[in-house]
């Protein structure tokens, strides 16, 4: 397994964890961000590579700092 895949999996898991803490469905997060809910699912399953803009958009929607999405010690 390469490091990028591991990073994407960890990021997706953290995104899912925070989303569920906020009691947001993928659909709700999609509505807030303007992203497609299928794309959010792909991010959470490490099937999509996200841009910096998308990461910032997700962090803002979840009311967290960007760095919190990369804190994998949860």
- Statement: residue 47 has pLDDT above 50: yes
Mean pLDDT computed over every residue of the chain? 94
Q: How many domains does the chain have?
A: 1
- Statement: residue 2 has pLDDT above 70: no
C-alpha–C-alpha distance, residues 74 and 66, integer Å: 15
Within a domain: residue 34?
yes
Of 49, 60, 72, residue with least CA distance to 22 = 60
Read off the pTM. Answer: 0.91
Q: Using the 8-state DSSP alphabet, how is residue 23 labeled?
A: T
Range of the structural domain that residue 65 is part of: 3-69
C-alpha–C-alpha distance, residues 38 and 14, integer Å: 17
Within a domain: residue 15?
yes
Within a domain: residue 26?
yes
């Amino acid at each position: 397994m390469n490091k990028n895949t591991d990073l994407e999996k960890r990021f997706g898991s953290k995104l899912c964890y925070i989303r569920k803490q906020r009691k947001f469905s993928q659909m709700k997060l999609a509505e807030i961000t303007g992203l497609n809910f299928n794309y959010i699912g792909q991010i959470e399953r490490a099937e999509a590579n996200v841009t910096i803009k998308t990461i910032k958009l997700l962090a803002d929607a979840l009311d967290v700092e960007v760095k919190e999405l990369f804190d994998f010690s949860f």
